[in-house]
Amino acid sequence: MNSGFFSKRFIVLVGKGGVGKSTMAASIGLAAARSGKKTLIAELNTTEKVPLLFEKSAVGYQIQPIAENLYCLNIQPEPALREYGLMKLRIRAAYNVVFENDFMRKLLRLVPGMNELLLIGKAWHLEQERDRSGQPVWDCIVVDAPATGHGISLLRLPHVILDAVDKGPLAEDAGKIRDLLTDPRRTTLNIVTLPEEMPYQESLELLRQTEEVLKMPLGFLLINQVWPEVMDDRELDILNAYRDGHRGAQQADGAAECVRYMVGRRKLQDEYLEKLKLRFRLPAIEIPYVFQESFGPSAIETIALHLEKEIERHERQ
């Protein structure tokens, strides 16, 4: 756990909405925290999910502990702007004059990309934070980026700013953020997907944008909610024959129907599992579907343990 993937201090997760990015962020964060790293999970201006997965209340722009050595917050534009303004101007009265008047508020809302810059800028600032001894406040920051298109726009923004402006405070800050995002010693971008058509197509576009535009160092392809291989065709034929021999037995009919459904779901996924592994030049980790009545800390613990094992296996190869 002290080398490879978990040696990165800035772990970014991207993917289509609904593929389980927050679940992966929570699980990776827990795995890092279990290894002794002080870890922060940063959600970016979204409906908070991570604290709820640990049965904690959502608190917004406040860092809160959710497990041993593990913390989370939801980065939001307005408090991030307030914090940035106070940091730059240093005097609250000056901040109030510049940022708290109606004209400036309206003007800032009209600036393209301002909210995105505040979000990624705050994440960068968290990575830069040092304690009194000069050591990083956070050993690991896991960033749950917005869904596909918005996430790419946010991560691309420092490049866009530097293409348009090459001098001044804005260019200086954008350059520092870009340096973090493209630094293979500190950062890794990981694509979360499902073995289904739409997530597969969007993941291909994410990969293209990452390689051609973002230039971010790639980590893993995380394929979520993979159903188990219950039976092969021969074993399924035997089960059907058993069911036919016990026609009318409620338990036999129910068991056969359940198994047939699971086999069918897995067969649908197999096509996309093969495509994903062929088209992506990334180490792929299949995340098993977790069958639990409620999805909470126990499910996150199960996935975290699986990720630890699979990441270690890949890094030994």
Task: List pLDDT tens digits, range 203-245.
Answer: 999 999 999 999 999 999 999 999 998 766 666 666 666 666 5
Q: Which domain holds residue 74?
A: 4-225+285-316
**Residue 177 lies inside a defined structural domain of this protein:** yes
Q: For residue range 285-296, what is the model confidence (pLDDT) as tens digits?
A: 999 999 888 899
Q: Please say whether the beta carbons of 188 and 11 come within 8 A.
A: yes
**Residue 272 lies inside a defined structural domain of this protein:** no
Name, in order, each residue with C-beta under 8 angstroms of 241's C-beta and a sequence gap of 6 or more: none
**Residue 277 lies inside a defined structural domain of this protein:** no
- pTM, full prediction: 0.86
Scan for tokens 């946010």, then name that residue: 154
pLDDT at 103: 45
pLDDT at 244: 64
**Residue 240 lies inside a defined structural domain of this protein:** no
Q: For residue range 69-94, what is the model confidence (pLDDT) as tens digits?
A: 999 999 998 777 766 655 555 545 44
**Residue 81 lies inside a defined structural domain of this protein:** yes
* Continuous segment of H or E residues that includes residue 177: helix 169-181
**Residue 292 lies inside a defined structural domain of this protein:** yes
Scan for tokens 């959502």, then name that residue: 58
Alpha-carbon dihedral 234, 238, 243, 244, rounded to 10 degrees: 100
In the chain, the amino acid numbered 150 is H
pLDDT at 113: 65
The C-alpha atoms of residue 165 and residue 232 are separated, in whole angstroms, by 59
pLDDT at 250: 62
CATH code, domain carrying 70: 3.40.50.300
pLDDT at 104: 47
pLDDT at 78: 79
**Residue 234 lies inside a defined structural domain of this protein:** no
Total domains, the chain = 1
pLDDT at 111: 47
**Residue 49 lies inside a defined structural domain of this protein:** yes
